[in-house]
Amino acid sequence: MSLGLTLAILGAALAVFVAGIGSAIGIGLAGQAASGVMSEDPSKFGILIPLAALPGTQGIYGFLSGFLVILKLGLLGGQIIQPTVQQGWQIMFAWFPVAFAGLVSGIHQGKVCASGIYMVAKQPKDMTKPLVMGALVETYAVLGLLATVLLLNGIKL
């Protein structure tokens, strides 16, 4: 395996890994809040699921960007492309936007969603308000994904 291919695969793996960490922490924060609320009122399980799950999207974005690298390199079948070392470095660094936006926004989205869960515990009719607040944080994860996709598309192999 060439150094260029190794760097590109490492970049794909790091995109999945770093964005996934943000999602895991965010879901953990929201899940802890939801578990506390459900210990007092188990009937709120269904209404709390969207808020608890929302921070998981950053991990999906990281996975999607890693999958795009795998497709670009032809690793799922056909001819495997052997990028030059320079192209490998370009792919390696194209993961930065999705990974770090996913890491930071996943954690903060988890905090926003945890606060929203406490709000829904007291006012179940106001479910959409904390979802909108969580979606505002989501904007930056989506921008990170978009930047990574644009960077990957700009790399010619």
Residue range 3-154, CATH number: 1.20.120.610
Nearest to residue 124, comparing CAs of 32, 51, 55? 51
Separation between Cα atoms, residue 126 and residue 25, nearest integer Å: 25
CA distance 43 to 35: 12
Instruction: With cut-offs at 50, 70 and 90, classify the pLDDT of residue 77.
Output: confident
pLDDT tens string 1-44: 799 999 999 999 999 999 999 999 999 999 999 999 999 999 99
Asked whether 91 and 7 are in contact (CB, 8 A), the reply is yes
For 101-126, the DSSP string reads HHHHHHHHHHHHHHHHHHHHHH-GGG
Domain ranges of the chain: 3-154
The answer on pLDDT for 62 being more than 90 is: yes
| C-alpha 143 chain-centroid distance | 11
Residue 52 to residues 35, 82, 90, 112: CA-CA distances in angstroms?
A: 10, 41, 35, 10
